[in-house]
Amino acid sequence: MALRSLVSRKTLGLASSGLKLQFRGLQTFSLPDLPYDYGALEPAISGEIMQLHHQKHHQTYITNYNKALEQLHHAMEKGDSSAVVKLQSAIKFNGGGHVNHSIFWKNLAPAREGGGEPPHGNLGWAIDEDFGSLESLIQKMSAEGAAVQGSGWVWLGLDKESKKLVIETTANQDPLVTLGPLVPLLGIDVWEHAYYLQYKNVRPDYLKNIWKVVNWKYAGEVYDKERA
């Protein structure tokens, strides 16, 4: 699981700045920088939310992920299989939290740097083909995000087998790869911490405004790389 996360992160070219080498070759992770200022997504997402989300929530996933990986390392050295198995839920949750948030930051961009600008090129065509239009994709993704019970994510992914775009949701911090051979192009965090200070109980308003800061250029690049 841990190894798979490492591999998928490398394949996607994610969090490469956050990779550090530590004792005996055990890799640990550190918080990747945000590619923009905390306040740069306002008014869609407040600076206060972005700062807590990045510095506190994402950092906590990384801290606990590193802790779990270290425990895993020791358990494997000792050949303690039940300890290895027991660590899987913490690795999935915290490692997933790190993977998902690393994607999420890249999925957003300030409006003055192209945030919210509709996708051009191949991804634009594919969206029209698979969903009819960008508007209907946005509507469908917002509705599915609003319908997630409790905490989770809504994704636009590329199915590597059918080569089609798909909308999926995952619970808690399950990454999109837990559902199958899917490449995440765009993930929207629908945990309450992602919007509560600004939108309170009204998740649909958050899901209405976030499109103003979605970085479609990044999603298009991932798409092109996967289809190449």
Partner 1 sequence: MVAAAAATAANPLACSLFPSKGLRGTASGLQWTKRQCTRKTGPLTVTAKFELKPPPYPMDALEPHMSKETFEYHWGKHHRAYVNNLNKQIEGTGLDDMSLDDVVLVTYNKGDPLPAFNNAAQAWNHDFFWESMKPGGGGKPPGELLQLIERDFGSFDEFVQEFKSAAATQFGSGWAWLVYKANRLDVGNAENPCPSEEDKKLVVVKSPNAVNPLIWDYYPLLTIDVWEHAYYLDFQNRRPDYISTFMEKLVSWDAVSARLEVAKARAAEREIEEARKKKEEEEKNFTDKNPPEIFIDGVADDSESD
Q: Taking the complex as a whole, how short is the minimal distance between the CB of residue 207 and partner 1, in angstroms? A: 8
User: CB under 8 A: which stretch of 79-87, 101-109, 110-118, 147-155 binds partner 1?
Assistant: 147-155
Q: Residue 166: which of 122, 208, 126 has the closest Cα?
A: 126
Cα dihedral value 119, 120, 126, 128, nearest 10: 80
Give dist(CA 226, CA 228) in Å, integer: 6
83 binds, among Fe ion, partner 1, none (CB under 5 to 8 A by kind): none
Cα dihedral value 174, 9, 165, 189, nearest 10: 40
CB 213 within 8 A of CB 115: yes
Q: Is residue 201 close enough to count as binding partner 1 by CB under 8 A? A: yes
Q: Is residue 168 close enough to count as binding Fe ion by CB under 5 A? A: no
Q: Say how far residue 80 (Cα) sits from the centre of its chain.
A: 32
Q: Rule CB under 8 A: choose which of 4, 120, 163, 193 binds partner 1.
A: 193
Give dist(CA 223, CA 56) in Å, integer: 30
Q: Taking the complex as a whole, how short is the minimal distance between the CB of residue 167 and partner 1, in angstroms? A: 11
Q: Taking the complex as a whole, how short is the minimal distance between the CB of residue 225 and partner 1, in angstroms? A: 29
Give dist(CA 98, CA 59) in Å, integer: 8
Binders in 169-188 for partner 1, by CB under 8 A: 169, 171-173
String of DSSP letters for 205-216: HHHHHGGGGB-H
Q: Rule CB under 8 A: choose which of 79, 149, 161, 228 binds partner 1.
A: 149
Cα dihedral value 127, 121, 11, 16, nearest 10: -110
Taking the least distance from each CB to Fe ion, the nearer of 97 and 119 is: 97
53 annotated as ligand-binding? yes
Binders in 185-224 for Fe ion, by CB under 5 A: 189, 191
Q: Taking the complex as a whole, how short is the minimal distance between the CB of residue 53 and partner 1, in angstroms? A: 9
Q: Say how far residue 226 (Cα) sits from the centre of its chain.
A: 17
189 binds, among partner 1, Fe ion, none (CB under 5 to 8 A by kind): Fe ion
What residues are designated binding site? Answer: 53, 101, 189, 193
Which residues sit at the interface with partner 1, rule CB under 8 A? 52, 56-57, 60, 89, 93, 143, 146-152, 169, 171-173, 191-193, 196-197, 200-204, 207
Which residues sit at the interface with Fe ion, rule CB under 5 A? 189, 191
What residues are designated binding site for Mn(2+)? Answer: 53, 101, 189, 193
